[in-house]
Structure 1
Amino acid sequence: MKILLTKILQNLKKFKYVILGLLILIIIGTFGISQNKEDSTRASTPTTTTETKPQYTIFHLVIPKLDMSVPIIPDVDGNDKEEYFKSLESGVAHYKGTSKPGDGSNIFIFGHSSFYWWSPGDYKEIFKTLSDLEEGDEIIVWREGKEYKYKVTETKLVSPTDVSVLKPTKTEQVTLMTCWPPGTTQRRLIIIAKPI
């Protein structure tokens, strides 16, 4: 009997990590199930909320069709590679010297369609789906708490050296630019939108 008891205890020692692991899984599973029950209970409880528009206080770009909401870094020197790469880590960039919403000319905004995965920042591919925009799609720019709405009127590809897209315009417009196709610098995708 003593030999049998010793063998059982030795076998239990071998499996103590397995037993411990199973206990942990049971605890985690139980927590997950109770958490899901809470979530489903909360989801089935009717609530009354008033839908409010977000109030962006500084400078912000919203493109509903692309489910995009991104900060705009103002007055970025597009000729200073170090400055604009640093700015694009935090959002998209407003080209220094171009108009701002409400000022009546060309508001030029640029961002990445792709960039090195190891580079810092959350906006390395923010403009990757920009080509999905079509004529009539809405673009919203927030500036100092005020909303400015535009609709897409033109989409085109230009060479990287075409600076005509930066020029002032007689009427207000938003010009969005990104490298195209994603992963290259061969061309620039340009989206132009006019006030609604």
Structure 2
Amino acid sequence: MSTKALKIANILIGLGIGLLLLGIVVSYSTFRPYLETLWQTKDIPTAPPFDRAMMVADATVIALLPFDEAPVPTEISPTVTVSRSASLAPVQRQATPVMLESIPTLTPTLAAPLQPTAIAQPLGTAPTRIRISAIRLDAPVVPIDWEVIETTAGAQGIWKVPDWRAAGWHNTSALLGVPGNTVLNGHNTTYGEVFRDLYKLQEGAEIVLEGEGSSTYTYTVESLYILKEANQPLEVRLENARYILPTMDERLTLVTCHPYGSIQNRLIVIARPALASLPAEGE
């Protein structure tokens, strides 16, 4: 090869390397969340089996954990219709358990008419906004329900996820301020990526939920877990779904896909009411 040709080859190689470096710099912001989540996933433990002692006695799985992208229904003929009044009927909203035998029966008499005595029930409110300062998150919360998807494995209930930058409150989960499991889900890659940075939360981080009437409820992150979900047997997915079932204690559960750009796993964040925290008005 002549000296001239060698110089031209070196120039072309230099240009190629320069363009490659420029491409890496320009696309770094795109690939950064993929790299960060993959790097930090090793520090998030796999979820242990859910403590069934904390579950409400008659709690059953009505729908599986949500997808970051809705699964494509498999066409099955004839179409199977699953009624919510059947075995997949959603559980009712949770409230503080009240022992029926402890409630006195008031029987009015003609001689001395009595007004029925109202029994105090715990008040709760649906969440309307979530704020997590540690990850600069401030987003609305909207109620969501679940839908039945026909798959090759049969009809499966799947929780919907808001298709914009909002967290979804599972409308059969607990209201704020009462015992039970308040469950919120959100996308981590699409539709605004509301829960994109959940994996960055550390134990002790504060989560503030706003309810109706501008009341606020503060929770403290207790744990983060990874659940293997995609391509898992139905038995595994049903076990995973126990994390969003009603519980006897008061807790907040956040659910999203993980890592970034993948539906391989689910990330679960469990938080408890902050100690000595009372709902504050007008904050």
TM range (shorter): 0.5 to 0.7
Establish whether residue 84 from structure 1 lines up as the match of residue 153 from structure 2: no
Structure 1 SS opposite 2:199: helix
Note closer, same or farther for the CA distance 1:129–1:58 as it changes in structure 2 (3 Å cut). closer
What SS does the corresponding residue of 2:147 show, helix, strand or coil? coil
Deviations along 1:59-95, whole A, 9 cap, x unmatched? 1000010111010012x1133689934x331511011
Question: How far apart, CA to CA, are the structure 1 residues paired with 2:208 and 2:145?
Answer: 23
Please provide the CA RMSD for this pair. 2.1
Structure number with the higher helix fraction is 1
Residue in structure 1 matching 2:201, options 119, 128, 133: 133
Unpaired runs of 5+ residues, structure 1, are 1-56, 116-120
Give the alignment partner of residue 157 of structure 1, picking from 226, 233, 245.
226
Q: Give the alignment partner of residue 108 of structure 1, picking from 167, 174, 183.
A: 183
- The amino acid of 1:186's aligned partner reads Q
| Number of residue pairs the alignment of both structures matches | 131
Deviations 1:92-135 (A, max 9, x none): 101121112112110000001102xxxxx5x2x12111111011
Alignment partner, residue 143 of structure 1: 211
Q: Does 1:67 align with 2:136?
A: yes
* Deviation for aligned residue 1:165: 1.0
Does structure 2 retain, via aligned residues, the 8 Å contact 1:73–1:90? no
Whole-angstrom CA distance in 2 between matches of 1:157 and 1:79: 24
Could you state the TM-score of these two structures normalised by the residue count of structure 2? 0.43
Task: Give the direction of change, closer, same or farther, for the CA distance of 1:131–1:102 in structure 2 (3 Å limit).
Answer: same
Gap change, CA 1:180 and 1:152, over 3 Å in 2: same
Larger RCO (CA under 8 A, 6+ residues apart): 2
1:93 aligned partner? 168
CA distance in 1, matches of 2:188, 2:127: 24
Q: Choose from 239, 242, 266 the match for 1:188.
A: 266
Choose between structure 1 and 2: higher strand proportion. 1
The Cα shift of 1:182 comes to 1.2
Counterpart residue number, 1:176? 254
Structure 2 unaligned residues grouped into runs of 5+: 1-125, 150-157, 230-236, 275-283
Call closer, same or farther: CA 1:101–1:64 in 2, change over 3 Å.
Answer: same
Tell me the distance in 2 between the aligned counterparts of 1:167 and 1:58: 17
Taking structure 1 as the reference length, the TM-score comes to 0.62
Contact 2:181 2:253 in 1 (8 A): yes
Contact residue 140 and residue 166 of structure 2 kept, 8 A: yes
Distance 1:80 1:101 in 2: 27
SS at match of 2:160: helix
